[in-house]
Amino acid sequence: MGNADFERPHPVVIPPAKSFLHSLKSGLKETLLPDDPFRQFKNQSASKKFILGLQYFVPILEWAPRYTFSFFKADVIAGITIASLAVPQGISYANLANLPPVIGLYSSFVPPLVYAMLGSSRDLAVGTVAVPSLLISSMLGKVVNPHEDPKHYIQLALTATFFAGVFQSALGILRLGFIVDFLSHATIVGFMGGAATVVCLQQLKGILGLVHFTQGTDLISVMQSVFSQMHQWRWESGALGACFLFFLLLIRYFSKRKPCFFWINAMAPLTSVVLGSVLVYLTHAEKHGVQVIGHLKKGLNPPSVSELAFGSPHLMTAVKTGIIIGVIALAEGVAVGRSFAMFKNYHIDGNKEMIAFGMMNIAGSCTSCYLTTGPFSRTAVNFNAGCKTAVSNIVMATAVMITLLFLTPLFYYTPLVVLSSIITAAMLGLIDYEAAIHLWEVDKFDFFVCISAYVGVVFGSVEIGLVVAVTISLLRMLLFVARPRTFRLGNISNSMIYRSMDQYPTANSVPGVLILQIDAPIYFANANYLRERISRWICDEEDRLKSTGGPTLQYVILDMSAIGSIDTSGISMLEEVKKHTDRRGLKLVLANPRSEVIKKLEKTKFIETVGQEWIYLTVGEAVASCNFMLHTCKSKRASVQESDAQENV
């Protein structure tokens, strides 16, 4: 190859410049509409477009006409199953949020109806969730005491729900749903585990029958609070709680091993409530230290538009709480909807789901409901019970409506300790230590993020944990960007292929040529680092060649295949690298600059600086050309030396 005249067969193409407006438009489209929701509107008549648009925003219009009786049968069974879960869970979580238990029931009536119309998931079961409930009690409890001023506290909770809904819809409408993606999987595992631990700790109040309890949610305050009141522990309450917890965990254990136990598991919470209430009624345990729910108001959700406390001095706290619980609810709801859609092979538009969640919470806040989303546990039960469409939510809402209208007196004797057991059992399932172990095995940094979130929640507070986790995730991403990897490439034997010598230790280095690959886009955040790193590579290579007595370094090839984009700081960096190599008498060669990069290199005249002839399509061609030049120079030098020698002679 060296002897033949070298010809460069494949030119690097500079794509034609696109107008600014065109690239702005395509950039915005890629950012905000990555899933191309308007695809179906193409080439349709105006009336068809209107109908499609209506169906897009109100999916029930799309699937209702295709609804069949066999679907209905399946949905009724699933709906009743989740209703049996919704009633005790609703009461329990309302209790956790320091709200009247009946609000938990209200929240399982209106929001599911709204979601059934607007939501696009076929499996999602709507309901209240533990972590936002806890957040409401801890964040709002700081400014208004729920026991001293319950009316104001409820108003703030409804207001927070309203703002959560507004925030959720706004994210969806502005198509900024990808913000939720910044909560990484590792963050969520750690955060949920921590929150579940904290919620379990809070249940010690109910299980031990304590009257006074710390306002803090961290492990240390709870433990202090529990152990400083050992003389006030109620053994009746504790024993009852332990029994029910054991019962619930045992059933879950069996249902996991044998799918035929599924129904028993789904019905277990309601069974516990019924058993507990009957037990208390028969033994009059409410007079012996077992706290009961007491009177529940009969009747459907009262309207609550006038309760939204926009004039409250604590409005900002409500807004802040609303945004945080809104994001957490979205993260859970969207992830749950997506996972089950994956199972059944249909598609969910995350932004549209956010609008549905938002509308559901706005409607909820006007009808005495607090924050709802699509909890994983209830959705899994819905899915396992064989639901076909969102009609199962309507069935659940109907069942809850019947409960609200006629059955509330039955809950008078329900002991609080049973509710605590139900929450604890549900929460223990959320501590996903297996996922944490998996993170440790696959990615230590992800594990660190996860544990930080967990520790932040358990030893600080839910907000601290969330802030810590998001900050670490973002820092990690900034670090990813700020410290890209660089590799030295070598030739894979018997080929024109060049790969990292780190990964392919048998790859051969090319004498006199240093081939570097940069593994990330070059931005302001990593430009300085890369400049330092490249000059270090060059120094190291020169040292290595000196110590081995090999030929001196002549060429530095930058493989730009992995550099997807570059900004002005990145281009300055390349200019500095060029100066640096020039000063050391090295030739800088570029291989495979990508379209974004080559466009900018052309605009800044960097191509002229390097020389058009030093830009190649592949590393292989660049090396071949360098080898050819090296050979020519060597033979020239050799002939010069020869003639010198002859002259000297």
Using DSSP bridges, classify how beta strands 486-491 and 513-518 pair: parallel, antiparallel or unpaired: antiparallel
Give the Cα separation of 22 and 16 in Å (integer).
13
CB of 474 to a copy of itself, least distance (A): 8
Spatial contact of 243 and 323, defined as CB atoms under 8 Å apart: no
DSSP 220-278: HHHHHHHHTTGGG--HHHHHHHHHHHHHHHHHHHHHHH-GGGHHHHHHHHHHHHHHHHH
CB of 490 to a copy of itself, least distance (A): 12
**Please, what is the angle between helix 185-208 and helix 462-482, to 10°?**
170
- 345 vs 648, beta carbon nearer a copy of itself: 345
CB of 72 to a copy of itself, least distance (A): 27
CB of 121 to a copy of itself, least distance (A): 16
Instruction: Name the amino acid, one letter, at 189.
Output: V
Spatial contact of 272 and 248, defined as CB atoms under 8 Å apart: yes
Give the Cα separation of 51 and 46 in Å (integer).
9
CB of 6 to a copy of itself, least distance (A): 16
- 407 vs 501, beta carbon nearer a copy of itself: 501
- 459 vs 504, beta carbon nearer a copy of itself: 504
- 201 vs 597, beta carbon nearer a copy of itself: 597
CB of 516 to a copy of itself, least distance (A): 13
Of 313, 375, 321, 304, give the one whose Cα is nearest residue 100: 304
CB of 574 to a copy of itself, least distance (A): 12
Alpha carbon 29 to its chain's center: 22
- 356 vs 619, beta carbon nearer a copy of itself: 619
Spatial contact of 195 and 134, defined as CB atoms under 8 Å apart: yes
Give the Cα separation of 408 and 298 in Å (integer).
6
List residues bridging with 522 in a β-sheet: 566
Please report, for residues 208, 462, 467, 553, the alpha-carbon distance to residue 219 in angstroms, rounded to integers and kept in the order given: 16, 12, 18, 61
- 403 vs 486, beta carbon nearer a copy of itself: 486
Q: What angle do CA 15, 16, 17 make, to 5 degrees?
A: 115
- 111 vs 490, beta carbon nearer a copy of itself: 490
CB of 445 to a copy of itself, least distance (A): 8
- 8 vs 631, beta carbon nearer a copy of itself: 8
Give the Cα separation of 135 and 137 in Å (integer).
5
